[in-house]
Amino acid sequence: MLGPRYDVLMRVAATSPPRIDGATGLLSGVRQVLSPHFDSRPPGVVPELLIVHGISLPPGEFGGPWIDRLFTGQLPPNGHPYFKEIEGLRVSAHALIRRDGEIVQYVPFGERAWHAGRSEYRGRSACNDFSIGVELEGARDIAYTDAQYNQLAVLTRALLDAYATLTPEHIVGHSDVAPGRKDDPWPSFDWARLHALLARHLPD
C-alpha cells in the first residue's frame, strides 16, 4: 500500500509548474506551434507588461484548428465568411489558453509578437515592443472556464519568475491599451478572479 504520502507526491509531480527557458523563451511542457509572425524587440527592451486578449474563430465558436492557422498565416480564406474578412492579416500572440486549459505557444517570450496593434500604456506607444500577449479562447458573452483562469495564473507565475521586469501590477487587457478600437478580453473576463489566483501563487 502506497499511502497518503505517495498520493501527495504524485499530485505534486502531476502539477509541477511549467518553466520558461531563459535562453529560448519557450515554456516547458506545452504544445508549440511556432509562428512566422514575430520579430525582435527593440535593442535593450524587455517584457514589462502582460496583455490579456480574448479570441475565438470564427467569432463565438470554440475548438477547431483556426487560431493556430491564423497565427501561422494558414487560415483558409474560403473556410468561413469571417476568414475572408481578415484575409492577409499577419498577427500572433505569445500564447493561447484554450477552453480546456491547454496552453499553446506561438512566439518565444523574448521576441516581439504581433498582438496589440496600435496601442498605448501609460504614455508609451507600440505596446508589442515591451509586452507579452496571451490570448484566451473566449467570447464577449460567455464566461471563461475554471481551467483557463487556473492556467493563466500558472503561466503568469512562470512569466513573473522568468522576467523580473514583469509585475502583477502591470497586467492589462487589450481594451486598456487600445480603447475604442479593441474591447477584448471583454466584460466576460473576471479580473478580480485572476488577481486572487495570482495572490495565492505568489511566494509568502
The contact set with Zn ion (CB under 5 A) reads 53, 174, 184
Nearer to Zn ion, 142 or 161 (CB): 142
The residue (of 103 and 134) whose beta carbon lies closer to Zn ion is 134
The whole-angstrom separation of Cα 49 and Cα 46 is 9
Of 86 and 201, nearer to Zn ion (C-beta) is 86
Q: What is the nearest approach in angstroms of Zn ion to the Cβ of residue 89?
A: 12
| 135 assigned to active site | yes
Task: Give the nearest distance from C-beta 184 to Zn ion in angstroms.
Answer: 4
Minimum CB separation of residue 173 from Zn ion in Å reads: 8
Q: Which is nearer to Zn ion, 137 or 184 (CB)?
A: 184
- Smallest separation (angstroms) from Zn ion to the CB of 182: 5
Q: Which of 61, 85, 135, 137 is catalytic?
A: 135
Residues with catalytic roles? 135
